[in-house]
A = this chain, B = another copy of it.
Amino acid sequence: MTLAGKHPELVVWSSEPLNVETPLEMLARSHVTATELFYVRNHGPVPAVDPAAYRLVVDGMVGTPLALSLEELRGRFETTTVEATLGCAGNRRAELATLRPIEGEIPWGAGAIGTARWTGVRLRDVLRAAEVAPDAGHVAFTGLDASAAAEGAVPFGGSIPLPKALGGDVLLAWAMNGEPLPAAHGFPLRVVVPGYIGARSVKWLAAVTVQADASSNYFQARAYRLFPPHRAVPSDRAADGLELGELVLSSALCRLTEGGSGARVVAEGYAVAGGERTVERVEISPDGGATWTAASLAERPRPGVWRLWRAELELGPGAGEVAVRAWDSAGETQPTDDAGVWNPKGYMNDAWHRVPVARQTV
């Protein structure tokens, strides 16, 4: 796999599997992230899939198992386009790692996130055609890739609760920002689960399996869990880790630009909420949290979609710390500091985003 189609300024954490991050300065530029700028989090080599031979299997607790070609998917179900933000559960891990080391994980900055327009069919419609059994509880996805897990190479996979799968916002998508999915993003078909960690939006989708329980796939049952901070990751005690699902409320300062009125600077960034919640307010502090002002928010609040924000700030001379925090529609806000959310695998960092700034005295 090469970096074909990706912007040369992306941060490359590894090329096989491909793991690249968007520089924050580029992320704040537009509500929809260009595909060439969009982060990639892969767990194995990108599989080469022949679209003509491709079949999506829908099986498990269904009355009518399906094996659908791409043409059948397009022909039988209504095509729709939704905007959705995908974010890696490890986004902002680097901040946690400065506090206590996090072994064996990619030290993502705040750029393992992006928003795209996804086109495909609703998972709900496909599940209805397959006739879901009344006692089903979860919908599992399995990829065509062979990902390197503790047990060797396994397909990547994960599941979401059935009510989310039936909610109408979960897509089986073949296009990203109006173009066919690039290979690195899941060609020919991927899941898009708005409001959930990116790991549930399984790429190179092989199967949708309706089942009673949550996925037993390594990447849900063992990895991608929130382990207690008070001990190391116990590989034989996966049950001690919380199973991740919805994204957490988070925000980031993406760039500071001179050029506000007078001695002011313009701050820009993003904020994103989890589940069905929406970002309702973003606040920025020029002094590490002592005082706060409201940022202005672009676009209306929608579940599963970030909001870019902008604020003018008066920064004093010398060094200081700019902090950002968001509030969501549940009235919740972000934890104050990294120490409060540190966990052994460095997931779900939702602490205030704190950025040291040095400013020349005028």
Interface residue ranges, A against B (CB under 8 Å): 226, 228-230, 242, 244-249, 274-275, 277, 280-281, 283, 289, 291-294, 325, 327, 329-337, 339-341, 347-348, 350, 352
Interchain nearest-CB distance for A342 vs B (Å): 10
Interchain nearest-CB distance for A241 vs B (Å): 10
Interchain nearest-CB distance for A108 vs B (Å): 16
Give 13 A-B contacts (CB < 8 Å), ordered by A residue.
A228-B281, A229-B283, A242-B280, A242-B329, A242-B331, A245-B331, A248-B332, A274-B330, A289-B339, A335-B335, A335-B336, A335-B340, A340-B352
The number of times this chain is found in the oligomer is: 2
**Interface on chain A toward B: helix, strand, loop, or mixed SS?**
loop
| Residues of B close to A332: CB separation below 8 A | 248-249, 274, 332, 348, 350
Of B289, B331, B333, B350, which one neighbours A244 at CB under 8 angstroms? B331
Report the Cα distance A228→B333, complex, angstroms.
12
| Residues of B close to A329: CB separation below 8 A | 242, 245-246
Chain B residue at minimal CB-CB distance from A290: B339
Of B230, B280, B337, B341, which one neighbours A293 at CB under 8 angstroms? B230
Known contacts A228-B283, A230-B283, A335-B340; decide if A330 and B246 are in contact (CB<8 Å): yes
Interchain nearest-CB distance for A329 vs B (Å): 7
Report the Cα distance A279→B335, complex, angstroms.
17
| Residues of B close to A331: CB separation below 8 A | 226, 242, 244-246, 248, 347-348
| Residues of B close to A340: CB separation below 8 A | 289, 325, 333-336, 352
Interface contacts beyond A230-B283, A246-B330, A336-B337: sample of 13 additional A-B pairs, CB < 8 Å, sorted by A: A228-B281, A229-B283, A230-B291, A230-B293, A230-B294, A242-B329, A246-B329, A275-B277, A325-B340, A332-B332, A332-B350, A333-B335, A340-B352
| Residues of B close to A229: CB separation below 8 A | 283, 292
Report the Cα distance A224→B115, complex, angstroms.
33
Contact A339 B336 (CB under 8 A): yes
Report the Cα distance A244→B329, complex, angstroms.
7
| Residues of B close to A226: CB separation below 8 A | 327, 331
Chain B residue at minimal CB-CB distance from A242: B280
Contact B335 A242 (CB under 8 A): no
| Residues of B close to A291: CB separation below 8 A | 230
